[in-house]
Amino acid sequence: MEPLRTLQGLVCPLNRTNVDTDQIIPKQFLKRIERSGFGQFLFYNWRFDDDGNPNPDFPLNQPQYKGASILVAGENFGCGSSREHAPWAIQDFGFKVIIAPSYADIFKNNTVKNGILAIQASDEQVQTIMKKAETEGYSLTINLEEQKVYDNEGFQFQFDIAPYPKEMLLNGWDEIGVTLTYEDKIEQYELTHK
């Protein structure tokens, strides 16, 4: 997993609430056995019409958001299915950071495992960013170490993140590798809980 420390990137707004993982990546694309290549299917049913043509109204199809690495969305982002294909698709498309007022629990866990930073911001902060992102070329800088988001117009805020996911993201750790250093504890537990 790639470490994530600071990032400056273009912001793409998705002004919808309760975006579920069935929208992020529809079920017909869950049949592959690989971890890569899911970006082309991201938000498929919203991005493309029935004939497979791009829907020009959808933000991800608009030229001004091409190359965006920060996705901003409404409340309860990533609700529904536990499919990790959702963060795989988001990442493969080019997003490294998500900003939303709240996330579904399983989705949020899945983002950390893939080196994606899911920032929880207030409703007001998210709406401010949505508005600013209507302007072409609007970008934000994220500093994970300092837990700070800012633009070059003086807008900024601090965000909360628990120490463990922060450390995971900053270092890009292989979590299984870390856990296996606790193998003696696991063995001990197994011996006393037969």
Partner 1 sequence: MHNPKNIIQKIWEQHVVHQEEGKPDLLYIDLHLVHEVTSPQAFEGLRLNGRKVRRPELTFATMDHNIPTRQRQVINDPISKKQVDTLQQNCEEFGITLADIHHPDNGIVHVIGPELGLTQPGKTIVCGDSHTSTHGAFGALAFGIGTSEVEHVLATQTLWQAPPKTMNVKVNGKLGTGVTAKDLILAIIGKFGVRFGTGYVIEYTGEAIRGFSMEERMTVCNMSIEGGARAGLISPDETTVEYLRGRKHVPQGEAFEEAAAHWKALATDEGATYDTVVEIDAAEVEPQVTWGTNPGMCIPVTANVPSPDETDKPSEKDEIVRALEYMGLQAGQPISDVKIDHVFIGSCTNSRLSDLRKAAEIIRGKKVNPSVTAIVVPGSFSVKLSAEKEGLDQVFKDAGFEWRDAGCSMCLGMNDDIIPSGERCASTSNRNFEGRQGKGARTHLVSPEMAAAAAIAGHFVDVRKFTAQEVG
Choose, by CB under 8 A, the member of 152, 155, 164, 172 that binds partner 1.
164
Q: Who contacts 15 (Cβ-Cβ below 8 Å, separation ≥6)?
A: 73, 74, 130
5 part of the interface to partner 1, by CB under 8 A: no
128 part of the interface to partner 1, by CB under 8 A: no
CA distance 148 to 165: 16
Minimum separation from the CB atom of position 32 to partner 1 (A): 7
131 part of the interface to partner 1, by CB under 8 A: no
**Residue 5 backbone dihedrals phi, psi, to 5 degrees:** -115, -65
CA distance 140 to 183: 41
Choose, by CB under 8 A, the member of 8, 45, 61, 120 that binds partner 1.
45
17/158 with CB nearer partner 1: 17
Residue pair 16/129 in contact (Cβ under 8 Å)? The answer is: no
CA distance 71 to 32: 25
Neighbours of 118 (CB within 10 A): 25
23/69 with CB nearer partner 1: 23
133 part of the interface to partner 1, by CB under 8 A: no
By CB neighbour count within 10 A (0-12 exposed, 13-18 middle, 19+ buried), where does 115 fall?
middle
> What's the one-letter identity of residue 24?
I
> What's the one-letter identity of residue 127?
Q
What is the footprint of partner 1 within residues 50-79 (CB under 8 A)? Answer: 50, 74-76, 79
Choose, by CB under 8 A, the member of 81, 116, 138, 140 that binds partner 1.
81
Binding site for partner 1 (CB under 8 A): 15-18, 20, 22-23, 26-28, 30-35, 45, 50, 74-76, 79-84, 87, 102-106, 109-110, 113-114, 162-164, 174-176, 179-180, 182-183, 185-186, 189-190, 193
